[in-house]
Amino acid sequence: MKIRPRLVTHQLRIGILAVQGDYEAHARMVERAGAEPVYVRRPADLAGLAGIILPGGESTTHLKILTEEGLFGAVQKFAAAGGGIFGTCAGAILLAREVRNPAQTSLGLLNISILRNAYGRQLASEIHMGLTKLRSEPLEMVFIRAPIIESVGEGVDVLAEDEGHPVLVRQGRILASTFHPELTADPAVHIFFLSLLSAGRAS
């Protein structure tokens, strides 16, 4: 069964963690999807946001900055209060309940086990076309030194797979991908994320 995102009828403010990774590409995609992007660098920046995007990069660097700037606990509180979170690649690692290879502290907001450095530490990039539950047409997926989601727990819906592994998963208003949708011309994943937040406000 395909998931049909609701049309977003009012502009949402979407935060983007702006410390590393291609957060500017996420901002452009958020605008294309019909929302207002807001760069987040400190806890006060979370005020008034419907959701936040945790971009790619190095998860250890993100974790260090989140901790030093007081954002680690602030993001957890944001999620507990109903805020949506979308993590891509390193952002998916930050969201996971369990991180391996090596083990690492995480936000623990998404009931998945994820494997870091799954394809080695060298820069590895691949582009695949794959089917998802978002629509009938294939989706372009850009993988850059991607982690692997090893297992999903209760409450997690697998929205897309690639080579036998989940690559796009959702738990409530938490969304994660091991690929980089912001590096394509297709805003489908960002539109889906916005639809989750819009539906949450309407309910």
User: For residue 121, what pLDDT is reported?
Assistant: 52
Q: How far apart are CA 64 and CA 66, in angstroms?
A: 6
Q: Which helix (H) or strand (E) holds 145?
A: none
Rounded to a whole number of angstroms, the distance between the first and last alpha carbons of the chain is: 22
Q: How far apart are CA 23 and CA 3, in angstroms?
A: 27
Q: Could you give all domains of the chain from N- to C-terminal order, each with its CATH number?
A: 13-202 (3.40.50.880)
**Which pTM value belongs to this model?**
0.90
User: For residue 7, what pLDDT is reported?
Assistant: 44
Catalytic residue flag (residue 165): no
Active-site residue, selected from the candidate residues 10, 137, 154, 182:
182
Catalytic residue flag (residue 68): no
Active-site residue, selected from the candidate residues 26, 62, 69, 89:
89
User: For residue 6, what pLDDT is reported?
Assistant: 44
Compute the residue count for the chain: 203
What is the per-residue pLDDT across 25-65, written as a single tens digit (0 to 9) for each?
Answer: 999 999 999 999 999 999 999 999 999 999 998 999 999 99
Low-confidence spans in the chain with pLDDT less than 70: 1-10, 119-124, 200-203
User: For residue 102, what pLDDT is reported?
Assistant: 87
User: For residue 119, what pLDDT is reported?
Assistant: 63
Active-site residue, selected from the candidate residues 62, 140, 150, 180:
180
Residue 202: phi and psi, rounded to 5, are: -75, -25
Catalytic residue flag (residue 24): no
